Structure formats: structure tokens, C-alpha cells
């Protein structure tokens, strides 16, 4: 009797599972369609041989019945330059996928483009095929690629880089002592994460208004256009000399240009002109006891200082716009800091004379209460010579600007009326108080602004890097 009961239970259980399987009902309609989170997966310009960011696709079954997908695969098969990961399964194809009612699956897509020894962008296309219910749906994959010169942790001697193909720097690079790296107009240098350009010798980046030299990260997706901290920056090391950056754009690093200590202050370590240094996690220009001649520059949107002139030195800034509207975090430091000392390892004050810090026809403004800090040595003994002449500055209420040795013909705490500084437009609006306020003497030294507009045609140059040209 017990055996009969056990046998009956087994039969009933088996019949239940069989009936459950028979009741498994799939949507077999030829009119059924999967829903995709996007109808085309686009990859912005990526570098050959390097790969891409990962794009995600969501595939949804919108029906109240399960769908059986016979296959999901790349049309290009094993020869495709794309790679898939379908719900955790990597490869170019996956078969027999059951997608339950109202459920979704995720596909991750990457692409690698092979070098083609061409300076022109190339387009690589493929598609993902979804086969089910005796029909197919497809989704297009499109990537734009660019062949590059790859520099991987190399020491560079005297060389000239042109604009035939971009340069991609991995694991940093060094311009060797007594060597000069010349970078021609239109050249683009991309730096991978944590990479830096070290200069022990000399670098001459000589762009033009139409074809600037560009230093930036290697993430070219639209979302990374103005994201800081993508690479480390440029370091002009102790002993480096005669460095020139003309019509250059340096953006989205940690420190834009670090200019190290130089014993001989008779000539500039760095000449920076007609250039933009923007979106730095830390500092735009970080100088340590060095010499800089800078004119017609925009230095903007840095998480700490836009310009830091530390441990003394000699500096001249003419027609520069220093505008800091950093919005990625709370900035607690001013746009400009100057000091004439440092504290050594024994906690002693070591004086370093700031022989000159001249700001002529400049704008120093931002979204903090005060954008200038003068950090004189604690014992008030060292040399700290600075002067703001025909400039617009922003300082707090207890900052004195009454000393004519330091301040001449200045505008204090008046909004310069930039067009759209929160979106990187630091040109002057038509009602700007900085219009026509500049010294003709300084303007005549640099008669063309960063946009190659004549700033002295009316004998009234505007402050900053941009001359306001009214429509006729």
C-alpha cells in the first residue's frame, strides 16, 4: 500500500511538471517587435588600436508573453571589429535566449579600429541582428576612428611633430635635456589618464589662430568635452628653458602648465601667448620661482587656483583674462595667489624674492568673494613686488587697493559682464565696464587680441584677452 501511494505521488508530480512545460507559452507573432533603448549606437572619434568606451543597449520585451529569441549576433561575425557582452556572455553570438514578459536584457558594445595609416577619419559600421519568430530586427553600429602616432613612456630628443596625425601619449613622455620638441600648427596631442608631458629641455608649440596646437585627454565623447582631470598636465622641469606656447589650447588636465624653479631669472622660462588654459582640477598656471611672459591668454575654470605664482620669481601678464567660475565642486581658493617664501623640512621660512608680478590691462574675476590673495612671508622681510595697472580685479572688503605702488587705474569689484562665463564664453558684452579702459601703452605692445582683432584701432583697448567688436 505504501509503495502504491509513493508511486501515485511520483506520477502526479511528473504530470504537474509536464503540464507546466506544455503551458509554457511564447509570443510567436511575426508582428512582434523588440524595443531598443536607442535605434543606433554611435561612437565618437576613437583611436585606432586602442579601443573605445563601452556603450550599453537595453533590449525589452514589451508584451505580456515570453519571447524566444533564436539568436543575437553581429552581422560581421568573427571578423567584426565590434565586441558584444549579452547579459554577461561575451562573444559575437548568443543563441536561444528566453526574454520573459515585460523583461529586459542588456548588451554592452565595444569597438577596436585597426590602423589604416591614414590621417583622415574612417567609419566602421556593423549591426546587431536579432532573429526570432522567423523574422529579424537589426540595430546599426557606427564608429568614427582616427589613426594616431602612439608615444608610450618615451624620451624624446630634438624632433618636429606635424599635424598629419594626432599624437596619443601613454604612460607620459619626456623631452630630454638639451633637446627641443617643436610642435607645428594644427597638431593635436591626446594624453591618456595619469599621463604627463615632462620637459627637461625645450618645447615650442607654435600654433596659429586658424590652426592652434591642442593638448587634451583621450576621451573624445561629447560628454567629456569639458571634464577636468582627464590627464596630468605639462611640467616644465627645473633647467627647462625658452619654452613657447603660442596659439595653444590646454584643457581638462589636473595642472595646465607647471613651471619649475629656475636659478637664472634673466629671460622667461615660459612665453605663453594667444592661448587658452581651461578646466583644470587643480591649477591653470603653477609657477615656482620661475619667469613667465604671458599675453592674450584666457585662463579659466580651475578647481583651486587659475594662476599660482609661488616661491618668488618674475612675471608679466598683459591682456589676460583670468576668469574662474568653477562649478564641479566648492572652490575655497582664489583665482590668483602670489607669495615670496616657502617652509622647508625643518619648518623654517625660506625667502624667495618676487621681483616682479605685473598685470597690465588684465581681468581677474570669478564667482568667489575675493579672487586675489597676496601671501607675504610671515616675518614681512622678503621682496614682494607686484602691480595691477589698468586692470579689473575682484577682492574682498578688507583688501586695500590704496597703495599706488601696487594699484594704478584699476576697477574694483565691478562685474566685467562676460557673455556666458559658466559656459566658457569670456568675451565682453556690449555694456561691459572693461571696454575701452585699457592702457594704450600696453595695447600697443600687443595690438591684436586672441581672436586677431585689432584692439588699438580706436586707441582705446579693452581689458582682457578679448577686444569687443561692435557690429556695424
pLDDT in tens, 294-313: 999 999 999 999 999 999 99
Task: Give the pLDDT score at 8.
Answer: 56
CA-wise closest residue to 365 among 416, 411, 437, 329: 416
C-beta separation of 172 from 153 below 8 A: yes
Q: Which of 116, 145, 174 is the last residue of a domain?
A: 145
3-state secondary structure of 21: helix
The grid coordinates listed for 239 are 633647467
Q: What's the rounded Cα separation, in Å, for the pair 121 and 261?
A: 42
The grid coordinates listed for 254 are 589636473
Residue whose cell numbers read 511520483: 10
C-beta separation of 213 from 205 below 8 A: yes
For position 325, which CATH number holds?
Answer: 2.160.20
| Residues 122 and 191 occupy one common structural domain | no
Averaged pLDDT for residues 319-347: 95
Instruction: Assign 12 a pLDDT band (cuts: 50, 70, 90).
Output: low
145 bridge partner residues: 46, 122
| Residues 308 and 278 occupy one common structural domain | yes
113: in domain: yes
3-state secondary structure of 158: coil
Averaged pLDDT for residues 166-179: 96
| Residues 293 and 230 occupy one common structural domain | yes
| Residues 117 and 231 occupy one common structural domain | no
CA-wise closest residue to 136 among 128, 148, 125, 124: 128
Per DSSP bridges, beta strands 104-111 and 55-60 are: antiparallel
| Residues 110 and 128 occupy one common structural domain | yes
7: in domain: no
Instruction: Assign 22 a pLDDT band (cuts: 50, 70, 90).
Output: very low
| Residues 220 and 165 occupy one common structural domain | yes
Task: Give the pLDDT score at 159.
Answer: 97
| Residues 183 and 311 occupy one common structural domain | yes
Backbone angles phi, psi at 107, to 5 degrees: -120, 130
Secondary structure in 3-state letters for 246-290 = ECEEEECEEEEEEECCCCCCCCCCEEEECCEEEEECCEEEEEEEE
| Residues 127 and 175 occupy one common structural domain | no
Instruction: Provide the residue range defining the domain that includes 440.
Output: 148-445
CA-wise closest residue to 364 among 275, 282, 464: 464
C-beta separation of 142 from 42 below 8 A: yes
Task: Give the pLDDT score at 47.
Answer: 86
| Residues 58 and 116 occupy one common structural domain | yes
The H-or-E segment that residue 5 falls in is helix 2-23
Give how many domains the chain has, as a whole number.
2
Averaged pLDDT for residues 460-465: 98
Residue whose cell numbers read 587656483: 305
| Residues 232 and 293 occupy one common structural domain | yes
| Residues 227 and 308 occupy one common structural domain | yes
23: in domain: no
Averaged pLDDT for residues 251-279: 89
Q: Which of 111, 145, 179 is the last residue of a domain?
A: 145
| Residues 333 and 430 occupy one common structural domain | yes
Name which of 46-55, 314-323, 359-368 the model is least confident about.
46-55
Buried b / exposed e over 345-383, threshold 16 CB at 10 Å, is eeeeeebbbbeebbbbbbbbbbebebbbbbeebeeeebe
Output 463 or 18, whichever has higher pLDDT: 463
Backbone angles phi, psi at 418, to 5 degrees: -65, 155
Q: What's the rounded Cα separation, in Å, for the pair 286 and 232?
A: 13
Q: CB under 8 Å, gap of 24 or more: what pairs does 237-240 form? A: 237/198, 237/199, 237/200, 238/262, 239/177, 239/200, 240/199, 240/200, 240/201, 240/202, 240/269
Q: What's the rounded Cα separation, in Å, for the pair 85 and 103?
A: 18
161: in domain: yes
Q: How many CB atoms lie within 10 A of CB 332?
A: 8
28: in domain: no
C-beta separation of 296 from 443 below 8 A: no
For position 134, which CATH number holds?
Answer: 2.60.40.2310
C-beta separation of 365 from 393 below 8 A: yes
Q: Which of 110, 145, 180 is the last residue of a domain?
A: 145
206: in domain: yes
Give pLDDT tens digits for 105-139.
999 999 988 877 777 678 889 999 999 999 999 99
Amino acid at each position: 500500500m505504501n509503495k502504491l501511494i509513493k508511486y501515485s505521488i511520483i506520477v502526479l508530480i511528473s504530470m504537474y511538471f509536464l503540464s507546466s512545460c506544455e503551458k509554457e507559452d511564447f509570443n510567436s507573432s511575426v508582428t512582434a517587435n523588440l524595443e531598443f533603448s536607442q535605434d543606433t549606437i554611435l561612437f565618437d572619434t576613437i583611436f585606432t588600436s586602442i579601443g573605445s568606451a563601452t556603450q550599453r543597449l537595453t533590449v525589452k520585451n514589451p508584451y505580456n508573453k515570453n519571447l524566444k529569441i533564436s539568436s543575437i549576433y553581429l552581422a560581421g561575425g568573427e571578423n567584426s571589429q565590434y565586441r558584444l557582452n549579452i547579459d554577461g556572455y561575451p562573444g559575437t553570438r548568443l543563441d536561444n535566449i528566453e526574454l520573459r514578459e515585460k523583461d529586459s536584457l542588456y548588451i554592452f558594445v565595444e569597438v577596436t579600429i585597426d590602423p589604416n595609416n591614414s590621417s583622415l577619419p574612417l567609419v566602421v559600421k556593423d549591426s546587431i541582428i536579432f532573429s526570432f519568430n522567423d523574422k529579424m530586427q537589426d540595430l546599426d553600429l557606427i564608429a568614427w576612428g582616427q589613426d594616431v602616432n602612439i608615444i608610450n613612456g618615451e624620451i624624446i630628443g630634438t624632433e618636429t611633430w606635424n599635424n598629419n596625425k594626432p599624437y596619443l601619449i601613454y604612460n607620459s613622455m619626456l623631452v630630454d635635456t638639451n633637446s627641443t620638441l617643436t610642435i607645428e600648427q594644427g597638431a593635436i596631442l591626446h594624453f591618456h589618464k595619469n599621463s604627463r608631458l615632462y620637459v627637461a629641455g625645450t618645447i615650442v608649440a607654435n600654433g596659429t589662430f586658424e590652426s592652434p596646437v591642442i593638448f587634451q585627454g583621450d576621451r573624445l565623447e561629447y560628454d567629456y568635452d569639458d571634464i577636468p582631470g582627464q590627464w596630468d598636465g605639462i611640467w616644465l622641469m627645473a633647467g627647462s628653458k625658452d619654452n613657447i606656447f603660442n596659439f595653444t589650447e590646454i584643457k581638462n588636465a589636473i595642472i595646465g602648465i607647471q613651471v619649475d624653479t629656475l636659478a637664472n631669472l634673466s629671460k622667461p622660462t615660459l612665453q605663453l601667448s594667444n592661448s587658452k588654459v581651461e578646466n583644470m582640477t587643480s591649477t591653470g598656471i603653477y609657477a615656482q620661482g620661475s619667469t613667465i611672459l604671458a599675453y592674450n591668454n584666457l585662463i579659466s575654470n580651475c578647481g583651486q587656483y587659475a594662476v599660482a605664482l609661488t616661491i618668488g620669481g618674475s612675471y608679466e601678464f598683459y591682456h589676460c583674462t583670468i576668469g574662474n567660475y568653477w562649478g564641479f565642486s566648492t572652490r575655497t581658493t582664489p583665482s590668483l595667489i602670489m607669495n615670496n617664501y616657502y617652509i622647508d623640512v625643518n619648518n623654517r621660512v625660506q625667502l624667495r624674492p618676487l621681483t616682479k608680478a605685473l598685470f597690465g590691462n588684465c581681468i581677474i574675476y570669478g564667482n568667489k568673494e575675493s579672487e586675489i590673495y597676496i601671501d607675504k612671508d610671515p616675518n614681512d622681510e622678503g621682496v614682494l613686488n607686484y602691480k595691477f595697472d589698468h586692470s579689473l580685479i575682484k577682492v574682498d572688503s578688507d583688501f586695500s587697493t590704496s597703495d599706488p605702488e601696487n594699484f594704478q587705474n584699476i576697477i574694483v569689484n565691478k562685474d566685467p559682464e562676460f557673455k556666458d562665463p559658466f559656459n566658457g564664453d569670456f568675451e565682453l558684452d556690449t555694456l561691459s565696464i572693461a571696454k575701452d579702459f585699457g592702457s594704450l601703452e600696453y595695447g600697443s605692445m600687443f595690438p591684436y587680441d586672441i581672436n586677431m582683432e585689432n584692439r588699438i584701432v580706436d586707441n582705446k583697448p579693452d581689458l582682457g584677452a578679448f577686444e569687443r567688436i561692435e557690429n556695424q
